[in-house]
Structure 1
Amino acid sequence: MPGAPITRLSMVYDADGTLVGEVRYVVGHLLGRARCDLCDITHGGLRRRASFDDLIASLPVPADVVHRDEQSPELAVFTAGRLACVVGHTGDGLEVLVGREDLAACEGSVDRLADVLRPRLAHRT
């Protein structure tokens, strides 16, 4: 039985969105000290992938893509220790729809993320 209807998504990077945060992540990633599987999916080099923007536009609910330092206080409390992830917002609260392990299994592929996300949204929107 499906859960409560999902009204929107928050896709949260395990990286900060400031210029310093972005540089810190890139350097850490190159040195093997920082990892964000959502970043690997959404970005090819320094730019966001057009295929990811196409996925966002095709979803049946609005989706926000935010860095960890851009989260609302409620979302930050919920995602603590769970980043990177995709969170579903429902009338009952928040739930992780796509967790770290699922994002890692996508191996940087937007299509694989779509294959994971779409069934989890089915009958919930």
Structure 2
Amino acid sequence: MATVPNFFAIYDADGSFMGEVRYLRDKCLGKAECSLCDLSHGWNPLGRSDWRRRKGVAASLNWLHRDELPGHVAAQVGSQLPCVAVDRSGEIEIVIGREALRGCEGDFSVFEHLLEQTVRALHAEPAPDTGSGPTA
């Protein structure tokens, strides 16, 4: 039986109160950039209205900060943040990288379209072979 893939949208920022304050300070000083933060929040600490009302694939993402990641995910994505990654049977793959997120230019509808295309393409691929069962 195939497992349902688990998708993560991973911010290049820490989720604690101090992490948020530090990111905001560094962003204002031009020392930090997180294109996923720009897509979901911009300058609004509560999030952009289109992000708060997200539907479809974007609503099923696990939106996490780098300090909130499960260990096996953090070990695979490392310094490649921000990104969207998928966990398929324990195999972590970055499916939307930093440059593609930057290319959305803060437009959440562009991101949603990219995400839907990516997920559609992934469903056309077979899941990675974990070697745990007979093959036909």
What TM-score comes out, normalization by structure 2 length? 0.80
User: Which structure 2 residue ranges, 5 or more long, are not aligned?
Assistant: 125-136
Structure 1 runs, 4 residues or longer, greater than 2 Å off? none
One-letter amino acid of the counterpart of residue 71, structure 1: L
Say if 2:53 is the partner of 1:54: yes
User: Which structure 1 residue ranges, 5 or more long, are not aligned?
Assistant: none
Q: How much has 1:116 moved relative to structure 2?
A: 1.1
- Quick check: 2:58–2:112 contact (8 Å CA) kept in 1? no
Q: How much has 1:8 moved relative to structure 2?
A: 2.0
What TM-score comes out, normalization by structure 1 length? 0.87
Tell me which residue corresponds to 2:102.
104
Tell me which residue corresponds to 2:16.
18
Q: How does 1:1-125 map to 2 (within 5 A)?
A: 7-45=5-43, 46-55=45-54, 57-59=55-57, 62-91=60-89, 93-122=91-120, 124=123
Q: How much has 1:110 moved relative to structure 2?
A: 0.4
User: What is the root-mean-square deviation of aligned Cα atoms in Å?
Assistant: 2.1
Greater RCO, 1 or 2 (C-alpha within 8 Å, sep 6+): 1
Q: How many residue pairs are counted as aligned between the two chains?
A: 121
Structure 1 residues 25, 92: closer, same or farther in 2, change over 3 A? Answer: closer
Q: How much has 1:61 moved relative to structure 2?
A: 8.0
Partner Cα distance (1:102, 1:78) in 2: 19
Q: What SS does structure 1 have at the residue aligned with 2:5?
A: strand
One-letter amino acid of the counterpart of residue 62, structure 2: D
Deviations 1:4-54 (A, max 9, x none): 986221010000011111000000000000110000000032221231233
- Quick check: 1:8–1:61 contact (8 Å CA) kept in 2? no
Q: How much has 1:62 moved relative to structure 2?
A: 2.9
Q: Which protein is richer in strand relative to its size?
A: 1
Asked which structure has the greater CA Rg, the reply is 2
